[in-house]
Chain A
């Protein structure tokens, strides 16, 4: 039996309208993602990479083309897809545990089971003592880990990460991407990471998709591997130390064409 692509994006275009003009945000985008694959989409700001995630989540519909997740067409948000925002978007009037449970609550899942899973996730992410704390009492890194627990609590197959580390300090960012990469690898999730940070993309993903400026198109794809590290996949921090890292970085940097700024 042929392996079903986890995500399939076919000829997707998106235009949006304002009273002044019509803007073509995405133009003719196609790609497939296999189960368990971790891909990163890089592009300069405004290239429509976040819009692409919104399309895959079902929050907005493409003007043309189609998207399917797990073989089913996407036409509305679904619990099979988890989405993590740039900001943690924790609700400050709910405790950490209540924040993690909001998905189960809205989806009408079994709250008892969800509570056990939420506590388990939070404990594993080092937030066991903060179940009943409010978000204001957590540090930036802890908040983002709570947001990850909230995303993973309904057990999605596909995870969309929209620059989830960009609001954090550089050191915390490296440490957290290390942690989250380990978590996601252990859970064997299919992941799409959108970022403008080339190093983050290369160190975390197995495939990097480069997008052009508006209208966003796919410019190139790079399969990332680190033969010098051996057969296993290095962690993000180890990947940054591999000799291949600099080469990938240079190639993608040139493609992003940043000197136009």
Chain B
């Protein structure tokens, strides 16, 4: 941009207001717009190419359709299970499990992080256990949860377990990194520990919570699908295992497709929510 401003013949002042753009700046803006459209076009083109190759290769006998299926067959299956209500049932099951797991992990994790912040002694005692539990691959617990909790509850437990310890560790370190002068400031006005929490620590940790939410929505998805693989009688994870057991690759692919759709929609909702929250807090720089 600086280079354009320098090379512009009509430039008299280095800074221009919006309504008197130089020709060079207009050209720069046009180039930026074109680049954006090029990137979008390439992305759509890549998907189209993939679908085309995927459709053509099995039909031409280059690859075994039993293993890969092809897009038109997958969409036919998708239309079929959408029409008979199977899709809605399984999608809703998975979606509600994700929400319960995500909210559960977030709420429980925040409460534990607050307790650890409030009591340094509790933190010293529990710290090594939390670190170990965080490092443990939670997927190893799936069979145990199934035995203890049965089919439904074990899936919730899995989704919570996957995100809980990360939440605790991220939030706790966020709480700890709050500027001590800010805490001193409210203590000077006689603030109790509870007031320090609500006036300084929690509002000051909004950026940390934002990153935690972003991480957790993905983790809750993992937890739910893994839980469903083991235990479920419904849900997209169940549909995937069921489809592979009866060697219905169309069904497996259709379920994966819906899952991809769910995760992108959830991610977009979270992203939109975060942008709104951070704007309120004037911390837009962190949103990216």
Contacts and interface: CB of A to CB of B under 8 A. Distances in A.
Interface of A: 57, 59, 76-79, 81, 83, 85-87, 89, 91-93, 102-103, 106-107, 134, 136-137, 154
Contacts of A102: 185-186, 189, 199
Main secondary structure of the interface of B (DSSP, over half): helix
- Of A77, A86, A106, most B-chain CB atoms within 10 Å: A106
Given A57-B188, A59-B188, A79-B190, 4 more contacts: A89-B179, A103-B189, A106-B186, A137-B282
28 contacts: A59-B184, A59-B188, A76-B190, A77-B190, A78-B190, A83-B184, A83-B185, A85-B184, A86-B181, A89-B179, A91-B182, A91-B204, A92-B281, A92-B282, A92-B283, A93-B204, A93-B281, A93-B282, A93-B283, A102-B185, A102-B186, A106-B189, A106-B190, A106-B191, A106-B195, A107-B190, A134-B282, A137-B282
B206 interface: yes
A136 B283 CA distance: 9
Interface in B187-214: 187-191, 195, 199-200, 203-204, 206
Contacts of B203: 91, 93
A91 B184 CA distance: 13
B181 A136 contact: no
A192 B206 CA distance: 36
A86 B184 CA distance: 12
A77 B181 contact: no
A78 B189 CA distance: 7
A83 B187 CA distance: 11
A78 B179 CA distance: 22
B280 to A, nearest CB: 8
A59 to B, nearest CB: 6
Interface in B80-131: none
